[in-house]
Amino acid sequence: MASVACPPIANKSNASSLIDQKLTDELARQCGYRWREVKLGPGQTLHHFGWQILMGNVTCDAVGHHANGGFTAAAYCQARQRLPMEVLSAVSDRIIATLLARFKSPQSQWHGHRVFRIDGSSAMMPDSPALRAHFGCSSKQKPGCGYPTTHLLLLTGPGGVALDLICSPLRTGDMTHAAKTHLRLEPGDLLLGDGQFGGWGHLHHLSGQQLHGLFPAHHSRKIAWGRNGDHGCNRRFVRTLGYRDQLVEYRKPAKRPTWMTAGQFAAAPEWLLVRELQREVRVGGVRRKMIVVTTLLDPQAYPAKQVVRLLGERWLIETQLRSMKTTMGMERLRCQTVEGVRKELLMYMIVYNLVRLLILEAAERQKVPPERISFADALARLRHGSAQVAWVDLEVVPLRPDRVEPRVVKRRPKAYPFMTKPRQVLREQIRRDRKTVKALA
């Protein structure tokens, strides 16, 4: 993806200028929200909320200290609860529109298509009854010994901009809300994802909205090649486009996918035309075969080698999730209500996109692709940068195409046993042990 020209981001180098308070108040009025003239109106509350997330989701007490004691932590918490979700959504949509406007030129697109990525993840929350009842806990943990966990579905676009972040109960599949994210896309856009998104239902849904999909073939699907191959009863060969490159049709399944409505399923055609291709790719210095399924049917407009190379960029959403969860601290949320969790996640997305704005500005000034700018360095610039300094170059990540990093943890945890009983049961056990020791003394 080519770097694009970005207009200057005024006053975004200072954390106190993250969100324009007057504009937020105006957006709140447009949403129909009314409030008294107090210290923590919607603009002021959102300003402090953004600072809180920017600094690593610090405590509400820290926000009060940052405001020089202008309000208590309890008052700020109540102000956050009063702040309507519509105001946060309006602010987020404005930032997203600003980001996407920078990618209208053909130079920032792939063969005339804007490229988006989708993937699922999760985040832990405090162990409150409301969150436990709504989101659920991992079945691998005993009752009372784990934390509620939310399933997340993230949609990102050009330049790494986050367009949608849907939270739902833990036992929710990635495909459950995938169709909702399509509302953020426009005809002609191209969506990348993992093998879970390459099934008949999702490909049909994309085609019906004049969208395109590019996904690796699911590991359970057996792919045969050519007219004489064994394609099974749910696939049929159409024609060959080249070596290990073919058009096939997928049969509509007998059972409706749970995320599709009965009307959508009934109106769907019996067969869906897709393209399958296979190429060898080099991953970490090792050659492996990659099988791809896509709705990009024209082999002349979309050569097989370029299609497979583009699918390799799907991995960028993994690094974007890492930036949100590990670098920004979204792995562990703080709010103890369902509505509070949704606001907290949306605020994470707002701050994340503000970092992306800074990255695009740095990429233009330093004449490198946006993917080469360090997210951690841009985040540190927003956290600690001075408004009096016009500009400081951000760190450029070196190119490491054959880098291999095992997904392991080096730092050992403390040598405490794991929690296998609820905390109250463990407390009672300690009290009984102490009474026994005193009785024997």
Averages of pLDDT over each 10 residues, the chain, 441 residues: 35 48 84 82 91 94 92 93 92 92 88 95 94 90 88 95 96 92 94 93 93 92 89 90 94 90 91 94 76 94 93 91 95 95 96 94 91 94 79 88 81 87 90 89 72
Q: Is residue 159 within 8 Å of 359, Cβ to Cβ?
A: yes
**In the prediction, which pLDDT does 79 show?**
92
Q: Which residue has the tokens 């972040």?
A: 165
Q: Is residue 374 within 8 Å of 7, Cβ to Cβ?
A: no
- Give the CA distances from residue 36 to residues 41, 43, 64, in Å, rounded to whole numbers and listed in that order: 8, 12, 20
**In the prediction, which pLDDT does 16 show?**
38
Question: Domain ranges in the chain?
Answer: 1-111+338-391, 114-320
Q: How many CA atoms lie within 13 A of 80 on its CB side?
A: 27
Domain 114-320 class, CATH top level: alpha beta
Task: Tell me how crowded residue 428 is: count the other CB atoms within 10 A of its CB.
Answer: 12
**In the prediction, which pLDDT does 6 show?**
36
Q: How many CA atoms lie within 13 A of 392 on its CB side?
A: 16
**In the prediction, which pLDDT does 285 show?**
66
DSSP string of 28-75, one letter each residue: HHHTT----S-TT-HHHHHHHHHHHHHTTS--HHHHHHHTTTSS-HHH
Q: Which among 331, 328, 245, 365 is positioned nearest to 293, based on CA atoms? A: 245
Write the burial class of residue 317 (CB in 10 Å: 0-12 exposed, 13-18 middle, 19+ buried). Answer: buried
Q: Is residue 77 within 8 Å of 336, Cβ to Cβ?
A: no
Interatomic CA distance for residues 211 and 156, integer angstroms: 15
Interatomic CA distance for residues 66 and 56, integer angstroms: 14
AA identity, residue 231: H
Q: Is residue 306 within 8 Å of 294, Cβ to Cβ?
A: no
Rounded to whole angstroms, the maximal C-alpha distance in the chain is: 88
Interatomic CA distance for residues 47 and 218, integer angstroms: 44
Q: Is residue 94 within 8 Å of 19, Cβ to Cβ?
A: no
**In the prediction, which pLDDT does 288 show?**
83
Strand partners, 151: 122, 168
- Tens of pLDDT, residue by residue over 10-35, are 334 433 345 778 888 888 888 888 88
370-400 in b/e form (b: 16+ CB < 10 A) is bbbbbbebbbebbeebeeeeeeeebbeeeee
